[in-house]
Amino acid sequence: MQSMQPSTVDKLKMGAIMGSAAGLGIGFLFGGVAVLRYGPGPRGFLRTLGQYMLTSAATFGFFMSIGSVIRNEDIPLIQQSGSHWNQRLLNENANSSRIFALAMQQAKSSPRKSNEVAEC
Amino acid sequence: MASADHTRDPCPYVILNDFGAAFSMGTIGGAIWHSIKGWRNSPPGEKRISAIAAAKTRAPVLGGNFGVWGGLFSTFDCAVKGVRRKEDPWNAIIAGFFTGGALAVRGGWRATRNGAIGCACILAVFEGLGIALGRMNAEYNRPVAPVIPDAPASGSTSAAPAAV
């Protein structure tokens, strides 16, 4: 028997989970580099790095949940019953997350540029 | 290429698909985010108008940024696939490297280098996450041999007298 199609809410949840996990990794990476280069600041090493990771995870989770719902199409399920993480859904999420990761890095690296564009 | 990824559109159609998908992600996310922001930064009585105005002005900008990044990444991804003739995670990392470098090129060579390396690192994190989730998925779906219940011992066997 085939398992049920993942609903839109399920895709939203899975996108948020994957985005948060990826955001934690990226926050750890970039936060670690920032702390090593500029110092931990007044709140200490762990709190600064933790804030980097949490902010990155929240942002990635938010946008990736939207991306998962946008890429919403019927997926032919040929796997066993009870499988909720279909391989194709994983690939779709991975692709959405790549796009989002690139866009987010630009937003972080050049805040003034976005302000200039917004004022036009 | 024999091992093409059948879950995605083939090149070059995937470039248009990713342009649209990335633009939609940025626009929808930006509309939600900036409407909440406009709502909170307004005096009472003008909250609804300010939320709508903020979403209308800022969401397309964010969508455009997302679209440029998504489309450019897919373009480089297709180019890398065409050159390497392979399908593996390195395609995305190399494409991310080129995309980061291309979009930071106006800031000089130092910004170009940092943007390229940063984007490659981000794509490496995502590829690692995808591989890890693929492993978990395979583990979850591993076929298990059915457990055959033991055959019941027949009464006649136990009741048979032992031959002397």
Below-70 pLDDT ranges, chain B: 1-9, 140-142, 150-164
Q: Which of A21, A62, A95 sits opposite B29 (nearest CB)?
A: A62
Model confidence over B12-51: pLDDT tens digits?
778 887 878 889 889 889 998 888 889 878 888 878 788 9
Domain-located, residue A91: no
pLDDT digits (tens, 9 = 90+) for A82-99: 444 455 455 555 666 666
| Structure-token match 């997926």, residue found | A75
Residue A70 lies in a domain: yes
Residue of A nearest to B97 (CA): A102
Which residue did the predictor score with more confidence, A27 or B162? A27
| pLDDT number for residue A9 | 80
Domain that holds residue A29: 1-75
Sole residue written with tokens 């036009």: A120
CB atoms A79 and B5 under 8 Å: no
Give me the percent of chain A exceeding a pLDDT of 90.
0
Query: How far is the alpha carbon of B7 from chain A, nearest alpha carbon, in Å?
Result: 6
Residue B143 touches partner A, C-beta closer than 8 Å: yes
The verdict on residue A95 lying in a domain is no
Pick among B3, B18, B122 to test the A interface (most A CBs inside 10 A)? B122
* B137 → closest Cβ in A90, A92, A114: A90
Q: Is residue A67 part of a domain?
A: yes
Is the residue at A93 inside a domain? Answer: no
Please tell me the predicted confidence (pLDDT) of residue A84.
44
How far is the C-alpha of B152 from the C-alpha of A62, rounded, in Å? 57
Is A3 part of any domain?
Answer: yes
Contact: B66, A85; criterion CB under 8 Å? no
The pLDDT, as a whole number, for residue A115 is 41
CB contact at 8 A, A41 and A82: no
Question: Could you say which residues from 5 to 34 on chain B have a Cβ atom under 8 Å away from some Cβ of chain A?
Answer: 5, 7-8, 18, 21-22, 24-26, 28-29, 32-33
The alpha carbon of residue B95 is apart from the nearest alpha carbon of chain A, in Å, by 10
Q: How much is the pLDDT for B116?
A: 92
What is the structure's pLDDT at A74? 47
| Spatial separation of the C-alpha atoms in residues B143 and A79, rounded to whole Å | 10
| Distance separating alpha carbons of residues B85 and A9, to the nearest angstrom | 37
Selected for mutation to probe chain B from A72, A93, A95, A109 (highest B CB count within 10 Å) is: A95
Total domains in chain A come to 1
Q: Copy the structure tokens of residue B79.
A: 């180019």
Q: What is the pLDDT of residue B31?
A: 92
Q: What pLDDT does B114 receive?
A: 87
Residue A32 lies in a domain: yes
Residue A114 lies inside a defined structural domain of this protein? no
Mean pLDDT of A61-84: 61
Backbone angles phi, psi at B154, to 5 degrees: -75, 145
HEC string of chain B equals CCCCCCCCCCCCHHHHHHHHHHHHHHHHHHHHHHHHHHHHCCCCCCHHHHHHHHHHHHHHHHHHHHHHHHHHHHHHHHHHHHHHCCCCHHHHHHHHHHHHHHHCHHHCHHHHHHHHHHHHHHHHHHHHHHHHHHHHHHHHCCCCCCCCCCCCCCHHHHHCCCCC
pLDDT at A114 over 60: no
